[in-house]
Amino acid sequence: MALEIRSFMVEHAEFSKGKNGITDHKLFINKEIILRKLSHELLEKVDLDIVSPGESTRIIKVLDVVQPIASRDQKIFPGFLNETLTVGWGSTHRIEGFRLISCGDFPQPQTTSLTTKDGLIDMSGPGADYCISSDTINLVITFYPKPSTSNEAFDQVSRKLMLDLAQYFGEMTFSLEPDEMLNYDLSEENPELPTIIYINQLQDQGPLIRPYLYGRPLGENFVPTFINPLEMMDGAIVSGNYRNFMKKPTSFYLRDPIVEKLLEQHHKSLNFKGVIISRGHHGDTSLKLRSASSVAKLAKFAKADGVILAMEGTGNGTIDFQFTLECCEKAGIKTVGIIHELGGSLGDDTPLVYRSKYADALISTGGVEREFSLGSVDKVVGGSVFLNYSLGVENPHQGFKVRPMDLYGSCWKMSVAGFTCLEC
């Protein structure tokens, strides 16, 4: 299975009265046309804003970030836009430097442990280093659902509209010459190089806190599954997790930084064998052990010399993460885990909720409970009131204290930005 990625760079975006399109790396957006595409009977209205890196702009109530992609092969986002057939082949177009960001409030009260959290992205200032998509030009789509709409219905409607729009923008590149073309093919291996597998543990607690694999949530009965990493580049995994800081947005599944690094080194320093998808946040120990041992079984069957384990989530999911690491080590597979730390606002508290004695190679991506201050901003989009991780009310125009836990996608942004923890 081989995949050609054609990339098209956007360096500027603006609203215009003409046709939607890309000219000389400039994206022109007709607001009226886009709003018509986003109309739905369950929505009262939709707002559109363009924000760019360095602006004194704060985006709140963030739901998801999606990179525009498209394919003439009618395959992207399987289970949502196309048939649930295996993807990761043929040719796929994607726009770089530009993202679609969905925002909105869930219309119905939430009272259980499945309560979602507001996401915040600062386009400048100290918070930008902790926020996914603070470094891209973004079209922010703010959805206002009708009060009678259920939370799950709003979730489904906003997701489908966002994926449709991502494809629509991606199709604008069909008549353009790509700025870059990359060809990926994992069929050839060098027997003299170590075989490496990436274990991608996804967070699935239930409605509004779960991803989708080929259009379906993982669920309690999910067993670890082996996929080709190229499938992720075509949208095989779509986010439905609104726990803000701990989640991977859809854009990060499309361009997973671990996948990209391993693909870069394939046939050079290692053989990238594939990705094992596992589920985090199981309800009891037996399910956690079942999942962990299944992951180790698949990795052993694939003759992996080493695995890289990363997780979406925190708390409960850390147990699944550590059990998986332990089972792989017991199976004789060298295992490196990538994980964020807790540690409290001063860094003097317990950094992990659980650590296996086999976890002797962990990479820290920094502490998500450290406190710092955001400044005031000139513009706020996505809503009018921000609820921090502890559900405290903040005026988003003003400065206030935050932790990375308050910021959108901080666990993964801190990872790619090079955050870590050092013993002082």
Give alpha helix (H) positions in 25-131.
31-37
CB 165 within 8 A of CB 141: yes
Distance CA 178, CA 162 (A): 24
**Residue 191 class from Cβ within 10 Å (0-12 exposed, 13-18 middle, 19+ buried)?**
exposed
Model-wide pTM > 0.75:
yes
Which amino acid belongs to residue 420? Answer: T
Distance CA 124, CA 101 (A): 17
What is the mean pLDDT, run by run of 10 residues, along the chain of 424 residues? 96 96 98 97 98 98 97 97 97 98 94 82 96 97 97 97 98 98 94 97 92 95 97 98 88 96 96 97 93 98 97 90 97 95 81 86 89 96 91 93 92 87 72
Nearest to 66 by CA among 56, 54, 86, 81: 81
Helix (H, G, I), strand (E, B) or coil at 329: helix
Nearest to 211 by CA among 237, 233, 230: 237
What confidence score (pLDDT) does residue 424 get? 62
CB 90 within 8 A of CB 65: no
Residues 6+ apart with CB under 8 A from 144: 43, 44, 45, 46, 47, 104
Nearest to 129 by CA among 204, 53, 47: 53
Nearest to 389 by CA among 280, 240, 247, 284: 247
Which amino acid belongs to residue 219? Answer: G
What confidence score (pLDDT) does residue 114 get? 72
- The beta strand positions in 71-208, using DSSP E, are 90-96, 98-104, 120-122, 137-145, 180-185, 195-203
Domain spans of the chain? Answer: 2-417
Distance CA 311, CA 233 (A): 18
What confidence score (pLDDT) does residue 390 get? 83
Secondary structure letter of residue 68 according to DSSP: -
Distance CA 288, CA 211 (A): 18
- The beta strand positions in 67-158, using DSSP E, are 69-70, 90-96, 98-104, 120-122, 137-145
Distance CA 295, CA 210 (A): 19
> Mind giving me the DSSP string for 200-267?
EEEE--BTTEEEEETTEE--TT---EEE-HHHHHTTSEEEEE--GGGPPPHHHHHT-HHHHHHHHHBT
Task: Report the DSSP beta bridge partners of residue 158.
Answer: none
Task: Report the DSSP beta bridge partners of residue 46.
Answer: 143
CB 95 within 8 A of CB 174: no
Helix (H, G, I), strand (E, B) or coil at 177: coil
